[in-house]
Amino acid sequence: MTSCLSGKVRAVSLPAAALTLALAAGPGALAGRPEALAAPPVPSAGAPHPSGPIVRAAGMTLEVRRGRIVVTEVAEGSPADRAGVLPLDVLLVVNGRSLVDLDPVSPSQVLGLLQDERTPRTRIVVGRGAGTLAVDFPEDQGETRPATVAPGELRPGMQAPLFTATDLKGKPVSLEGLRKLPVLLDFWASTCVPCTKNVIPLRRIAEEYSGRLTIVGVSLDEARPAYEAFAYNQHLPGVQIFDGGGWHGPIARLYGVAATGIPRYILLDAAGRIVAIKPLEEIEDDIARLVQPSP
């Protein structure tokens, strides 16, 4: 089977996911931003500013240094760490509000913006040297990130790892909430040639089993615009999700996709158990046996 391996599909981005706190690249946040937002160098060490409290958000420790909010620590495995946020990054924008304009600025002000402005995703822009980087992450629900599943651990008969995300229209999607019908998980990326070739047979399957099978596509694109353009232009069927972290996004990690390559198809029964993990042309027989005939 032809597939795209993790080393082949790369772009400039950062990791993410639904209510399990993932961070993802958000280049749209930089649109129209003046270069003046670029952060000046900050000290690489030293005690926190005596007048500024230390706060933590999304795994970042924030302190005031030289009048700027600086990320001084990033907890390993935290949302910030998975997004690629680094110590000494400087927070410039939170939810469209420039921190450069706040004088003085304190970490507590930033934390207030993160906590009080409840939105499906919080958008921040950080400065790194002379450049800027945009990241966004879901509202923190205090949930623990599920452990990564090795590809060999996924096998027919076991319960599929659960996840929650949002679709193209921003509506919440829960794998557990889709248990009324069998589900076909489709892991893809817009830069994956075999994935593109499978679009037509995938649409045919969706039409043939309409109302009796739910197709859930999970994009491993690292840039959201690429995911949206491919999903719309190719008329991808079913529910389409942007994992937000490329090969290391939360859903991709749950299903060990980086080690197996894409396209990757996993068929689940109505109870959420794995029925088959096969190429699309082979899994169709399993779908036919699993899905009830049309009346």
Q: Is residue 123 part of a domain?
A: yes
Q: Is residue 131 part of a domain?
A: yes
Q: Is residue 11 part of a domain?
A: no
Q: Is residue 9 part of a domain?
A: no
Q: Is residue 143 part of a domain?
A: no
Tell me, yes or no, whether 41 and 103 share the same domain: yes
Per the CB < 8 A criterion, the answer to whether 58 and 80 are in contact is yes
pLDDT band for position 108 (cuts 50, 70, 90)? low
At 158, which CATH number?
3.40.30.10
What residues make up the domain containing 279? Answer: 151-290
Between 125 and 45, the more confident residue is: 125
- Domains in the chain: how many in total? 2
Tell me, yes or no, whether 115 and 184 share the same domain: no
- One DSSP character per residue, 162-173 reads P-EEEBTTS-EE
Q: Is residue 31 part of a domain?
A: yes
pLDDT tens for each residue of 136-180: 665 443 333 334 455 457 889 999 998 888 899 888 989 999 988
Tell me, yes or no, whether 159 and 99 share the same domain: no
By CB atoms closer than 10 A (0-12, 13-18, 19+), residue 108 is: middle
Of the candidates 98, 17, 114, 97, the one whose C-alpha atom is nearest the C-alpha of residue 56 is 114
Among 147-156, 217-226, 251-260, 272-281, the range scoring the smallest mean pLDDT is 147-156
Tell me, yes or no, whether 177 and 92 share the same domain: no
pLDDT above 90: residue 274: yes
Tell me, yes or no, whether 120 and 245 share the same domain: no
Q: Where is the domain boundary, 111, 138, 165?
A: 138
Percentage with pLDDT > 70 across the chain:
66
Q: Is residue 16 part of a domain?
A: no
pLDDT tens for each residue of 53-104: 567 777 788 887 777 888 888 887 777 776 677 888 888 887 777 777 665 6
pLDDT of residue 198: 96
Tell me, yes or no, whether 32 and 118 share the same domain: yes
Helices (H), the chain: 79-83, 107-116, 193-197, 199-208, 224-233, 250-254, 257-260, 280-290
> What is the spatial distance between Cα 289 and Cα 174, in angstroms, rounded to a whole number?
25
pLDDT of residue 267: 97
Q: Kindly state the tokens that stand for 240.
A: 């389409």
Q: Where is the domain boundary, 113, 138, 163?
A: 138
Tell me, yes or no, whether 33 and 111 share the same domain: yes
Q: Where is the domain boundary, 117, 138, 159?
A: 138
Per the CB < 8 A criterion, the answer to whether 158 and 246 are in contact is no
Angle between helices 199-208 and 280-290 (to 10 degrees): 10
Q: Is residue 253 part of a domain?
A: yes
Tell me, yes or no, whether 191 and 124 share the same domain: no
